[in-house]
């Protein structure tokens, strides 16, 4: 059976502040043979900065892409502790995560800052994975759509129409991250459809090819139901991506031959 998606699925691991260079290399050695036949999906791994170089070497020659978890929009200069896009490009990063809810909440990153990061990544030829998502309080106050729309529009403000197809949007409801609580596939689909509607307003027909990932307690047991939804084009996976067998199962469930 062919994939229900007109958009190529993209399964991304966000390791957050977990795995140094040695662990990342060991992960690659175990993971790559497991996904060797997975050629109808994009697979991405975002390790901590310190593991990018060695993980990139371990992944070279494979179809698995390397991603950064963050970036600074400035080209260079006196920004202690920060990393520029040129440094990521030098290490072969194909993607960069920006606007993750942990950065928005813990480090007070605004959507304007996220927009500058996304613009800088694209200028360097690195595809931004732009994260949006509401908190539990916001959802309970019936503000989920307003929050997501506000974050989306402000975070994409510097992405012109002719580059929009290179962007990946990740919808991650904050209440589902690391909690074991997943949005039901129907609930996730509803907000993904809403996001696509907003993307149509921003980018017209290009919205049909922009991939929208779901994130929040994705695991092998629920990935198929989540991915079966019309407007869900991938997953951004935290906890369940740390184990090679677990992340491989998530990736392989996207293969057409694995669906009935």
Give the DSSP H or E segment for 147. helix 144-155
- Interface residue with ligand 13P among 189, 217, 229, 254 (CB under 6 A) is 217
User: Interface residues for ligand 13P in 185-214 (CB under 6 A)?
Assistant: none
User: Interface residues for ligand 13P in 12-71 (CB under 6 A)?
Assistant: 14
Cβ neighbors of 157 (< 8 A, separation 6 or more) are 111, 112, 115
Active site residue: 100, 102, 119, 138, which one?
A: 100
DSSP structure class, residue 18: -
- Interface residue with ligand 13P among 9, 216, 234, 244 (CB under 6 A) is 216
Distance CA 233, CA 212 (A): 5
Q: Does 220 bind ligand 13P (CB under 6 A)?
A: no
Among the listed ranges 76-84, 136-144, 226-234, 237-245, the one in contact with ligand 13P (CB under 6 A) is 237-245
Q: Angle, to 10 degrees, between the axis of helix 49-59 and the axis of helix 21-34? A: 30
Name the residue nearer to ligand 13P (CB basis): 25 or 246: 246
- Interface residue with ligand 13P among 56, 173, 215, 244 (CB under 6 A) is 215
Only one residue has tokens 């290399």, namely 25
- Interface residue with ligand 13P among 84, 236, 250, 252 (CB under 6 A) is 236
Among the listed ranges 31-39, 146-154, 216-224, 246-254, the one in contact with ligand 13P (CB under 6 A) is 216-224
Distance CA 145, CA 218 (A): 21
What's the closest the beta carbon of residue 35 comes to ligand 13P, in angstroms? 18
Q: With left for phi above 0 and alpha for psi between -120 and 50, is residue 187 left, alpha or beta?
A: alpha
Q: What is the 3-state secondary structure (H, E, C) of 69-124?
A: CCCECCCCCCCCCCCEHHHHHHCCEEEEEECCHHHHHHCCCCHHHHHHHHHHHHHC
Active site residue: 109, 134, 172, 192, which one?
A: 172
What's the closest the beta carbon of residue 95 comes to ligand 13P, in angstroms? 12
- Interface residue with ligand 13P among 4, 33, 178, 256 (CB under 6 A) is 178
Q: Nearest to residue 114, comparing CAs of 127, 102, 131? A: 131
Annotated catalytic residue 137: no
Name the residue nearer to ligand 13P (CB basis): 94 or 200: 94
Applying CB under 6 A, which residues contact ligand 13P? 14, 100, 172, 177-178, 215-218, 236-240
Residues with catalytic function: 100, 172
């Amino acid at each position: 059976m062919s994939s229900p998606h007109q958009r190529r699925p993209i399964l991304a691991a966000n390791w957050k502040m977990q795995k140094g260079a040695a662990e990342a290399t060991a992960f690659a050695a175990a993971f790559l043979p497991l996904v060797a036949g997975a050629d109808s999906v994009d697979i991405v791994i975002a390790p901590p900065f310190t593991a990018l170089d060695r993980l990139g070497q371990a992944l070279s020659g494979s179809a698995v892409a390397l991603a950064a978890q963050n970036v600074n929009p400035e080209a260079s200069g006196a920004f202690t502790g920060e990393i520029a896009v040129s440094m990521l490009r030098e290490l072969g990063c194909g993607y960069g995560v920006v606007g993750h809810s942990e950065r928005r909440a813990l480090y007070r990153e605004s959507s304007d800052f996220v927009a500058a990061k996304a613009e800088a990544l694209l200028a360097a030829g690195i595809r931004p994975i732009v994260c949006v998502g509401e908190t539990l309080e916001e959802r309970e106050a019936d503000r989920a759509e307003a929050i997501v729309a506000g974050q989306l529009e402000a975070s994409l403000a510097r992405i012109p129409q002719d580059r929009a197809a290179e962007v990946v949007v990740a919808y991650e409801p904050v209440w589902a991250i690391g909690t074991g609580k997943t949005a039901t596939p129907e609930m996730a689909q509803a907000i993904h459809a809403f996001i696509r509607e907003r993307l149509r307003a921003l980018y017209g027909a290009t919205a049909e090819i922009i991939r929208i990932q779901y994130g929040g307690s994705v695991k092998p047991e629920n990935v198929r139901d989540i991915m079966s939804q019309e407007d869900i084009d991938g997953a951004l996976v935290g906890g369940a991506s740390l184990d090679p067998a677990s992340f491989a199962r998530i990736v392989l469930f996207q293969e057409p031959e694995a669906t009935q």
